[in-house]
Amino acid sequence: MKSKILLTAVETIFFTILLYLLVVNYNAHTTTQFSISPDNSYIVLNTFFVIFGIYLIGVFSGFVYSVVLGMRYRDQIEFYARKTEKLSQQNEIDSDDKEALQRKIASLEIALNNALKNKE
């Protein structure tokens, strides 16, 4: 539980820093140069769009990662749910068998006591 709270706090701090950087860079009109070919030609972008693009790539990557993990863990959860259900059914059967045997033993004890009383 504490790790979830810590993770949420860290995510909130990072998101706040990202928003701050986006606003500052959008208003400052700062630019970033990227080399796109070996002949030293550059593409110039507003830093706002670079940071926002990196953020979107991170969000998309996190979403895909969580979907993949979710599918993997969903199969494991379903497997353990079936296993638990089988075990609980087996426990119920074993419990019913145990109760039936206890009733049979009790009735045999009564019959034995009656037979011993009649013999005397």
pLDDT, tens digit (0-9, with 9 covering 90-100), for 82-116: 888 888 888 888 888 888 888 888 888 888 888 88
pLDDT band at 1 (very low <50, low <70, confident <90, very high): low
CB-side exposure of 30: number of CA atoms within 13 Å? 11
Q: Hey, how many other C-beta atoms are within 10 angstroms of the C-beta on 49?
A: 14
pLDDT of residue 67: 84
61 pLDDT tier (thresholds 50, 70, 90): very high
Structural domain boundaries in the chain: 2-84
Q: What is the pLDDT of residue 20?
A: 80
Q: pLDDT by residue (tens digit) across 31-53?
A: 776 666 677 777 777 777 777 78
Residue linked to tokens 């009656």: 114
| Average pLDDT value for the chain | 81
